[in-house]
Amino acid sequence: MPEYIAILDFGSQYTKLIARRIRELGVKSLILPFDTPAKRIKTAKGLILSGGPFSVYDPKAPLPDKEIFDLGLPILGICYGLQAIGHLLGGKVVQSQKREYGMAYFVKKKDEIFYGIPRHSSVWMSHGDRLEVLPQGFTPIGFTENSPYAAIKRENIYGLQFHPEVVHTTFGTQILKNFLYRVCKARGEWGIEGILMGAEKELKKAKDGRAILALSGGVDSTVCAVLSKKILGERVFPVLVDTGLLRHREAEFVEKSLDKIGVEIKVVDASQIFIDALKGVKDPEKKRKIIGHKFIEVFEREAKKVGAKYLIQGTLYPDRIESAGVPGPSKTIKSHHNVGGLPKLMNLQIVEPLKELFKDEVRMIAKALKLPKSLYMRHPFPGPGLAIRIIGNVTQRKLKILKMVDEIYINELKRHKLYDKIWQAFAVLLPTKTVGVMGDYRTYEYVVALRAVCSSDGMTADFYPFKPGFLTLVSNKILNRVKGVNRVVFDISSKPPATIEWE
């Protein structure tokens, strides 16, 4: 077995991000339940304890097998992981009087894990508890204004109160690299070949029958389609469901694009089914579950036509982690239609070749498969489509308005060569109407919000800093061309605390 780093998952939304960072640095990573017995971890090159939403002093707090500290492995505790180390080894963790959420200024002491890092740097905090009394034998190797023990060490056991895995920690990647190569003495043997092997291994679960492939035209389902054709050949049937919630001429674009790379798809017009099912529904979780159920109904109907027993879909890890669809104590952020929105009883077996990957890793596969950039650099588009970009109930009129706004916005991004600089951009139709003046007449119309974010993985994001002139241009075009809108706003929230999508 190749060398690997084991990661114990305590329910952090960033656990898989830690794993991805480790893989980016050339080392295989495996996520394991927090209570995995120490004897199952002894072959690892090193061990990381993730963050989590709990307090270690709670009676039902998830804690690791204490024998992990007797294995002699290098250990790195992150946030809750640091607190678990402190708690189990005799220190004291208490609720902090001053919680730390967001950026903090970190001061380090000299140590291998901080090799090549300046004494002062910015780190990302997200905690309400803090270590107040150090366990015996540990020494502090870094602090912030509110955390005197922001970094601790005993021999090869480390704890960090901040999150080195998120991009907001200025030298976070270097810290993880130091842990891998200077503390764990890793060799670095992981790359695209291993990622592809994992995806293909999952697809081989469907090798004994036919499969329907849920196609959207995004990079995830497109990669699934190409890999499925490679592994399953003519036994896979890609299907694009036109829910009526897609962007303007989306189905037509996807069909033509996939045909150019040799993937023949079937487009099923189910728009009336979805729109009827959403009538009067305002709650976003209900929308997602209704859409998830309707998708399965359509796919099961199509599967019967070709005798398929499998459903292949391009679920990514962020979808699963936000829907709490992964083993462990993760909290639900929102139910994705292809995870938390799926019915409990289905006639199809789900196959998810990309379920352990992040978006940028899927794009790595797309490049390796030599897919055109116009496909693998498309912005993410949610499976529930415009239903979750219309806040409140969904109607045909609102869909028409939002499709027109979206088309103007995206076209201008492409025209100004901004599209590829942005991770995801879209418009949201708000349930609010405001007073306006058009041609000396009073109007009372909808507000649309424009969103554009920069990200590497979708787990954290910052808004794109457009020049005011561009936003003015887009706003004017929307207000002049789209009947029913008289106000345009721009969303400048980061993730966290917000999410990228509004619902």
Tell me, what CATH number does 447's domain have?
3.30.300.10
Give the amino acid at 435: V
Taking the chain (503 residues) in consecutive chunks of 10 residues, what is each chunk's mean pLDDT? 90 87 91 94 97 90 95 96 95 76 89 96 85 94 90 96 92 97 94 86 92 91 93 94 94 92 94 95 94 92 94 84 52 45 67 86 89 88 93 96 98 97 97 90 95 86 94 97 97 91 93
| Residue in this structure with the two tokens 């927090």, named with its chain if needed | 34
Q: Are 231 and 259 contained in the same domain?
A: yes
- Is residue 351 within 8 A of residue 203, CB to CB? The reply is yes
Q: Are 169 and 199 contained in the same domain?
A: no
What integer pLDDT is reported at residue 192 of this predicted model?
85
If DSSP codes are grouped into helix, strand and coil, which group holds residue 349? strand
What radius of gyration, in Å, describes the C-alpha atoms of the chain? 24
Question: Looking at the domain assignment, is residue 273 inside a domain?
Answer: yes
What integer pLDDT is reported at residue 374 of this predicted model?
85
Q: Are 352 and 471 contained in the same domain?
A: no
Question: Looking at the domain assignment, is residue 81 inside a domain?
Answer: yes
Question: Looking at the domain assignment, is residue 287 inside a domain?
Answer: yes
Q: Are 358 and 242 contained in the same domain?
A: yes
Among the options 24, 79, 202, 224, which is catalytic? 79
Q: Are 137 and 265 contained in the same domain?
A: no
DSSP 3-state percent helix, strand, coil across the chain (nearest 5): 35, 25, 40
Question: Looking at the domain assignment, is residue 384 inside a domain?
Answer: no
Quote the CA–CA distance of 151 and 60 in Å, as a whole number: 26
What integer pLDDT is reported at residue 161 of this predicted model?
93
Distance set, CA 184 to CA 80, 231, 368, 383 (Å):
21, 37, 30, 41
Give 411-419 contacts, CB < 8 A, sequence gap 24+: 412/470, 412/473, 412/474, 412/477, 413/452, 416/470, 418/464, 418/466, 418/470, 419/379
What integer pLDDT is reported at residue 6 of this predicted model?
97
Quote the CA–CA distance of 211 and 296 in Å, as a whole number: 13
Tell me, what CATH number does 88's domain have?
3.40.50.880
Q: Are 76 and 167 contained in the same domain?
A: yes
Q: Which residues contact 69 (CB under 8 A, 6 or more apart)?
A: 75, 88, 89, 157
Question: Looking at the domain assignment, is residue 84 inside a domain?
Answer: yes
Among the options 165, 250, 322, 445, which is catalytic? 165
Handedness of CA 162, 165, 171, 176 (dihedral sign): positive
Domain boundary among the residues 137, 162, 183 is at 183
Domain boundary among the residues 376, 409, 431 is at 376
Q: Which residues contact 492 (CB under 8 A, 6 or more apart)?
A: 463
What's the whole-model pTM score? 0.73
Among the options 3, 87, 100, 163, which is catalytic? 163
Q: Are 203 and 339 contained in the same domain?
A: yes
Q: Are 163 and 226 contained in the same domain?
A: no
Question: Looking at the domain assignment, is residue 99 inside a domain?
Answer: yes
Range of the structural domain that residue 150 is part of: 4-183
Catalytic (active site) residue 165? yes
| Residue in this structure with the two tokens 């893989």, named with its chain if needed | 23
Q: What is the pLDDT of residues 323-369, one digit of tens each?
A: 544 445 555 444 444 444 455 556 889 999 998 887 878 888 999 99
Count of domains observed in the chain: 3
Handedness of CA 427, 430, 434, 439 (dihedral sign): positive
Question: Looking at the domain assignment, is residue 499 inside a domain?
Answer: no
| Residue in this structure with the two tokens 């901040």, named with its chain if needed | 162
Question: Looking at the domain assignment, is residue 313 inside a domain?
Answer: yes
Q: Are 221 and 123 contained in the same domain?
A: no
Q: Which residues contact 126 (CB under 8 A, 6 or more apart)?
A: 51, 79, 100, 101, 102, 163, 496
Q: Are 61 and 155 contained in the same domain?
A: yes
Q: Are 340 and 246 contained in the same domain?
A: yes
Quote the CA–CA distance of 336 and 47 in Å, as a whole number: 30
Quote the CA–CA distance of 73 and 158 in Å, as a whole number: 11
What integer pLDDT is reported at residue 347 of this predicted model?
80
Quote the CA–CA distance of 319 and 324 in Å, as a whole number: 9
Q: First-to-last CA distance in the chain?
A: 42
* Cα–Cα–Cα angle for 375, 418, 426, rounded to 5 degrees: 70
Domain boundary among the residues 183, 214, 249 is at 183
Q: Are 365 and 414 contained in the same domain?
A: no
Nearest Cα to 74, choosing from 165, 178, 152, 184?
A: 184
